[in-house]
Amino acid sequence: MVTVPLTAARRYRFGPLDRSGWLLGLGPPACIALGVGLVLGGAAFHAAHSVLAAVPPVGLAALVAFGRYDGRALHEWIEPLWGWAVLRHQHAAQWMARVPLLGSDPSGADLPPCLVGLELHEVAGRAGAPRPTGTGVVVDRQRQLLSATLRVHGGAFALLEHEEQARVLDGWGAAMGGFCRERGAVTRVSWSEWAAPASLDEHLAFVRDQRGADRNAALEDYLELVGRAGPLTFAHETLITVTVDRRRVRSVRAPDADAAALDALLEELRRFTSRLEQAGFLVDPPLAPGELALVVRLRSDPSSAPRLATRRDRLAEQARVVSPHNTAPLAVDTTWRHVLVDQALHRCFWIAEWPRLEVPGDWLATLLLHPGGIRTVTVVHEPVPPSRSRRAVDREATRLASDEDERVRRGFRVRAQHRRAESEVLARETEIVAGYPELRFAGFLTVTAFDEHSLDEQAGEWEQAAAQGGLELRALDGQHDLAFAAGLPLGRLPDGRGRP
């Protein structure tokens, strides 16, 4: 993302997605499909000595390479369809947990396929070390990852002046830039903002208790105003999950690799908390296992909390009830259009396009402040070391130049999109030379409802709200369970079925 300073207010611009490919802008799947089609077409022509025999394979290859359906190229549907077929073949689309019997060990609780391999542990602070105590750490045995989560609070960002918004964004960028170093252990940092309708009963009871029997017209008018605003009241919660790759940790002090990775995770949490506080954010201690379990339960099925708790003492009380062994849902039913987790339906979207025009610092407010039901916005950041950033810029610049030469030589027009991609690569190189860190990112939106009709309506509303902010959403059909897991503070991404 390139920063563009203006006299009135600083504005920001997102670079376009890299559309260049192997040949004339065609990516690897399209080139492979065309190559296979031409080979099969040539074999059919030599076998039948007829041009008509070569038409079906060549035509099918061209359809796969250039055809589109529902906003996606046809070859982009291969992986979701294959994963969906594998899920159905393994009879894993409908999953139900085995409820432990009385007297049995509940530690080995079942997990749905999208959460297989995750373990929730409690890590106590070590004597004499400034470590957080009672930290809930999620261990991903399959991917060799360890994750922990912070709850972060900020001010009314949308109400700040433009200069103050720029200062807050600079502080956030500096905090995130601390992860972009050579041989860093942090492989992923994701933030998720969850919003759901909240009750005002506690606030109204507090106001009445403060006033007691002294009730006047002003108080009655205020209570009436708050009562009318009740349906528009939403509770927001922002969590940041830091993930460490066990394979990147090298330590001579820790007795084994697991202890070294845990030390690295706790140290990164401490440093990140310090950087966020310097930027003006309020950061709670890392979530304990009970708190993390409560978050997973509420986001999986908000109906488990009929009245959303807003006070910290209520949250702490609920967290003591939810234990780590009953964190996971009891039933998951994955369909092509959504995933049913216990009693809640979830439909997940990938943010395929970010704003193409210059936007102000609060451009995301149209999405985050939209009162359209229960939803989760998740953005996953991958820190990029400086040396890797420089190599990527050189590689992309060379590829764009060769693609332009190939188009000119073959008589194809060089589009404005290609020109803009070249200018964005040049801007990236300028910022890298100036010392700015680089982070790769991907965004997801999960819409939650309790029946299919409400889910369709709310999903349509969120698509419109995203379009107003310059975002293009694509439904992750066939992969909603994987994308749903990405919205939980567990350090997992929708990286395809069966991938390590």
If you average pLDDT over residues 396-400, what whole number do you get? 82
If you average pLDDT over residues 121-135, what whole number do you get? 62
Average pLDDT, the chain: 80
Q: Under the phi-then-psi rule, with left for phi > 0, alpha for psi from -120 to 50, and beta for the rest, what region is 183? A: left
Q: Give me 416's structure tokens.
A: 């404005």
Q: Under the phi-then-psi rule, with left for phi > 0, alpha for psi from -120 to 50, and beta for the rest, what region is 470? A: left
Assigned domain for 2 exists: no
Assigned domain for 67 exists: no
pLDDT at 308: 42
Q: What is the pTM of this model?
A: 0.82
Residue 279 lies in domain: 95-198+233-486
Count of alpha carbons within 13 angstroms of residue 10, beta-carbon side: 16
Assigned domain for 386 exists: yes
Q: Is a pLDDT exceeding 70 seen at residue 499?
A: no
- Pair 272, 419: CB distance under 8 Å: no
- Which band of pLDDT confidence, cut at 50, 70 and 90, is reported for residue 102? low
Assigned domain for 309 exists: yes
pLDDT at 64: 78
Strand partners, 95: 332
- Which band of pLDDT confidence, cut at 50, 70 and 90, is reported for residue 70? confident
Interatomic CA distance for residues 136 and 119, integer angstroms? 10
Assigned domain for 71 exists: no
- Give the model confidence (pLDDT) of 339-360 as tens digits: 999 999 999 999 988 988 888 8
Strands (E) in 385-486, as ranges, are: 438-449, 472-475
Assigned domain for 479 exists: yes
Check residues 468 and 65 and name the one with the higher pLDDT: 468
How many other C-beta atoms lie within 10 A of the C-beta of residue 224? 10
Assigned domain for 466 exists: yes
Q: Give me 172's structure tokens.
A: 């956030």
Strands (E) in 259-388, as ranges, are: 282-283, 331-334, 339-341, 344-353, 374-384
Interatomic CA distance for residues 165 and 361, integer angstroms? 6
**Domain total in the chain:** 1
Q: Which of 438, 446, 444 is nearest to 382 (CA)?
A: 438
Q: Is a pLDDT exceeding 90 seen at residue 109?
A: no
- Pair 260, 251: CB distance under 8 Å: yes
Q: Give me 315's structure tokens.
A: 């949250």
- Which band of pLDDT confidence, cut at 50, 70 and 90, is reported for residue 304? confident
234 three-class SS = strand
Interatomic CA distance for residues 496 and 500, integer angstroms? 9
Assigned domain for 182 exists: yes
- Pair 473, 462: CB distance under 8 Å: yes
Residue whose tokens read 């950033």: 389
